[in-house]
Amino acid sequence: MDKNSKIYVAGHRGLVGSAIIKSLNNKGYNNLITRTHKELDLTNTEAVKSFFETEAPEYVILAAAKVGGIIANKTYRADFIHQNLMIQNNVIHQSYKSEVKKLLFLGSTCIYPKECSQPMKEEYLLTGPLEYTNEPYAIAKIAGIKMCESYNLQYGTNFISVMPTNLYGPNDNFDLEKSHVLPALIRKVHLGKALEGEDLKMVRNDLDSLPIEGVNGQSEDTEILTVLEKYGIKKVSDGSVEVEIWGSGKPMREFLWSEDMADACVFLMEERDFSNCFQLGTKEIRNTHINIGTGKDISIADLAAMIKEVIGFKGSFAFNPTKPDGTLKKLTDVSKLNALGWRHQVDLPKGISKLYLWYLNKSTKN
């Protein structure tokens, strides 16, 4: 890619896409194409076809997807598989039809089996049953990998698939009904700290920024305290504040700063091709996707303790083992990516501090 290349970033407003846009801008790329969902519905085949015919992008980064946490994945199973398949099918096929020079497809490490050997190597794909709660989403992402591989092998396209581990960073989703574990914990601990300091102004500012079930900063004190308690943030008998965490706290998770992920994606777009994703001379070309991660994991309990220290919360945690844990361990093997020439830069304590400051600034502005 050169600095004037026409690059379409699908899903530019999300956690992934916004980080990629920032990375491209920082590197001097000045011809970026974006569309909001309102401007272009990627599940609409005719609309996507018309967009590619009109804009003719040279490069495509497919970061658009329907995403969510355990509750959302479990509840909206049909939506997750249908919408993600439609987005992928439309964008990948039209990239082929428009002779796009290179495409980068972003998936997730949930593609690996529930009982996958650790750390998870790319070759472990399709070696066992998936985690049930996010199976529809995972199947859609596996289909995206195979679509990229198949188009490359049949049509000679240059489509690369990357599977980032759990991401966190600016523009993360802090909605307690739909967010992933790390931003949810940051917000819950932040609200817990405000509650233990009897700082209802801080709580109200937070709820004005992002209401919970319609409860905002203008709501009555009783409504606010009730909704906080519903989401596991409450004062207990001794006057201290307790924050509930779903599950046992034992599952191990790997977390990658979103801007590191974006740097890896831009690196691959600039420096590597599909031919670099498998060993030349291989009879059966498969598992050409690339894991993006840190190769380090942490238990949910230790993650909560780390967030507690960063935020300065003095209360306690209550783990709720009646709620789902999900897969007990999900650690990526990043040796393939490292061999291609990229390593992460931001470790977890620094990343949590950066994200908390970002969240505070966002809440204050609103």
Positions annotated as catalytic residues are 137
| H or E element at residue 256 | strand 255-257
The SS3 assignment for 98 reads coil
- Cβ-Cβ contacts under 8 Å for 54 (sequence gap 6 or more): none
Strand, coil or helix: 17: helix
A 10 A CB-CB count for 271 gives 12
Cα(first)–Cα(last) distance of the chain, in Å?
38
In angstroms, rounded to a whole number, what is the distance separating the alpha carbons of residues 57 and 59? 6
Q: Nearest Cα to 78, choosing from 92, 88, 66, 69?
A: 66
The answer to whether 19 touches 170, Cβ cutoff 8 Å, is yes
CA distances from 124 to 31, 94, 121, 275 (A): 38, 30, 6, 20
Q: How far apart (Å, rounded) are the C-alpha atoms in residues 352 and 340? A: 27
Compute φ and ψ for 147, nearest 5 degrees.
-65, -45
Tokens of 79: 């939506």
Evaluate whether 323 touches 247 at the Cβ level (below 8 Å): yes
CB 279 within 8 A of CB 353: no
- 112-117 long-range contacts (CB < 8 A, ≥24 apart) are 112/330, 114/327, 116/330
Contact 125, 117 (CB under 8 A): no
| Helix, strand, coil % in the chain, rounded to nearest 5 | 45, 15, 40
| Token output for 271 | 């420096």
User: What 8-state DSSP symbol labels residue 101?
Assistant: S
| Helix (DSSP H) and strand (DSSP E) numbers for the chain | 12, 14
Amino acid in the structure at residue 176: L
